[in-house]
Homo-oligomer: A and B are copies of this chain.
Amino acid sequence: MIIDIHGHYTTAPKALEAWRNRQIAGITSPAQMPKASELSISDDELRESIESNQLRLMRERGLDVTIFSPRASFMAHHIGHFQVSSAWAAICNELCYRVSRLFPDHFVPAAMLPQSPGVDPATSVPELVRCVEEYGNVAINLNPDPSGGHWNSPPLSDRHWYPIYEKMVEYDIPAMIHVSTSCNPCFHTTGAHYLNADTTAFMQCLTSDLFKDFPTLRLVIPHGGGAVPYHWGRFRGLAQEMKKPKLSDHLLNNVFFDTCVYHQPGIDLLARVIPVDNILFASEMIGAVRGLDPETGHYFDDTRRYIEAAQIDAEQRHKIYELNARRVYPRLDVALKAKGR
């Protein structure tokens, strides 16, 4: 089985974006603020948006299951206040849940949180609870910078975030550390902000003792870990100078990397540097890079091809494709086993 742990609902029907635009307008003109009930998307529309896009590509590429969360760049936690994020997160999470019910063999939901700049992360816990308890979500996406590129929240190691971690540990669910749209003109969203956030989050973990407080907390760093595997020697050396334990002991029981790296040399480096138990298959399709690579004739984000070509053996590939995901996302494993998979 091949599990893609990093898919977003980037192809939702246009009505979703139209509702969001009305909501944004409603921030300054409260009379125009739409109700959640004013968004109407039929099951047929959901089916069509998935079957012609993600599911079509999953079938073409031989992928079985996708962990599916709301579109990352549309989370835009910087927009409006907590109630705005709360209504938006509820709608987006419900859509991913509905997709998971329409295609129960192929999609398992993960939740976005109603984060908002300067607001206590504890306010996100009720939505997290709802998504796990009622919607069967197996993970969350946690935005380390709800400001969208101004980086004015505390580091992930700060107690600020502990209410989220406590609930994650209770439910035994991991978080993917994933920022959203950059509203800082210095940072291109998918070309800089995403990768910077990955590197930043890893370093926040490295300099801290977060996993002493939460030994079972699991964080997934997407986009192949940003700059981390490429600079693994630098990180090993920095940890050594800080008198931290070896990275394998200090972080690798708790930190995992996905395979959203869109060329063969990058995946080869990842597989060479990072222990195979810490690598989880993912593509983030249909996402930031949708084109065909003229050097290969295949889609940049068809990451399975790179894993197939990597110098690893069948058992290692099995871990990357399936076993690691079952271990890092135990609720996914339970859901699959309940179906005899």
Residues of chain A whose beta carbon lies under 8 Å from any beta carbon of chain B: 144-145, 149-151, 153-155, 184-188, 190-192, 195-196, 199-200, 203-204, 206-207, 223-224, 226-227, 229-238, 240-241, 261-266, 268-269, 272-273, 288-291, 293-295, 300-301
The answer to whether B145 and A186 have CB atoms under 8 Å apart is yes
CA of A263 to CA of B234 in the docked complex: distance in angstroms? 8
Nearest residue (CB) in B for A264 is B233
- Do A263 and B203 form a contact, CB below 8 Å, given A151-B149, A196-B196? no
**How far in angstroms is the closest Cβ of chain B from A199?**
5
Number of this chain's copies in the assembly equals 2
CA of A150 to CA of B195 in the docked complex: distance in angstroms? 17
Cβ of A192: which chain B residues have Cβ within 8 Å of it? Answer: 196, 199-200, 203-204
Cβ of A290: which chain B residues have Cβ within 8 Å of it? Answer: 237, 241
Question: Looking at the complex, which one of B207, B241, B263, B264 makes contact with A289 (CB distance below 8 Å)?
Answer: B241
- Do A291 and B186 form a contact, CB below 8 Å, given A200-B196, A231-B266, A262-B231? no
The 8 closest A-B pairs by CB, nearest first: A233-B263, A237-B289, A233-B262, A227-B227, A230-B230, A196-B196, A191-B203, A237-B300
Question: Looking at the complex, which one of B196, B233, B289 makes contact with A300 (CB distance below 8 Å)?
Answer: B233
**How far in angstroms is the closest Cβ of chain B from A142?**
14
**How far in angstroms is the closest Cβ of chain B from A238?**
5
**How far in angstroms is the closest Cβ of chain B from A72?**
15
The answer to whether A186 and B261 have CB atoms under 8 Å apart is no
The answer to whether A199 and B204 have CB atoms under 8 Å apart is no
* Sample of 8 A–B contacts (CB below 8 Å): A149-B151, A153-B186, A231-B262, A233-B262, A234-B289, A236-B293, A237-B288, A241-B290
Question: Looking at the complex, which one of B191, B207, B241, B291 makes contact with A207 (CB distance below 8 Å)?
Answer: B191
CA of A199 to CA of B269 in the docked complex: distance in angstroms? 18
